[in-house]
Amino acid sequence: MLTADEIERYARHIVLREVGGPGQAALKRARVLVIGAGGLGAPALLYLAAAGVGTLGVVDDDKVSLSNLQRQVIHGTPDVGAAKAESAAAAIRRLNPHVTINTHALRLTAANALDLIGQYDIVTDGSDNFATRYLVSDACYFARRILVTAAVGTFDGSLTTIRAHERGRDGRPNPSYRCLFPESPAPGSIPACAEAGILGALTGVIGSMMALEVIREIVGFGEGLVGRLLMVDARAMRFETVAYGWDSKNPLNGERPTIVDLSSHV
């Protein structure tokens, strides 16, 4: 049930036919885990909290640095040196006291991923490296959890939703992250943010879209991004969507899977 204060707070949601009272109540019941409180996780956390997601978990073992503040808008100058998970939690509490925030100031590993992810309904991954992305996507498959995952480059970003543990309307398995990206790029082939740079506002756009996709998954309206990769080109202000499908040879949920647990992740 929504309190009188919550009804007023979420009034602009509740008047939407696609959301309404039932949709807002679903948001209140939802438990969402956000991987990373950085450029993508920062706006995603803020908008999920503002939307009234009942429980938010944030995973990040890093500390706030001055160079983060150009894009990681959940943190402020006084937070430099503080743990990102705690800084993010403090901002969320100021924004919406109705949200329960769980901090996980740790690095996600094969040893803790399943237990942690299993505590939530939906996972949104804004991590900045492929090793974590593959770990999160594999763990979500084994934990049977929905994954909204995004990435950004210097002037480009992408977003998709993975429900690889389910089948589509045609009866075929939904594609996994490994159907979209079969192999991780070679180490060093993609320069890190500190080397290549990144447009700060771009992370705000993609992170906000992550939150929007999570909200759509919870409430259940519109056409989701399962089997579709949304790509954003900030130089040309161009948005494109590319369809992708299940690869029967993929090692996770293919016809002959070779990945049966998380033991391959070190």
Catalytic residues: 193
| Dist CA 161 CA 241 (whole Å) | 13
| Dist CA 235 CA 220 (whole Å) | 32
- The answer to whether the beta carbons of residues 180 and 244 sit under 8 Å apart is yes
Query: How many other CB atoms sit within 10 Å of the CB of residue 232?
Result: 20
- The answer to whether the beta carbons of residues 41 and 126 sit under 8 Å apart is yes
Alpha-carbon torsion (46, 52, 53, 57), positive or negative:
positive
Strands 100-104 and 122-125: unpaired
- The answer to whether the beta carbons of residues 64 and 81 sit under 8 Å apart is yes
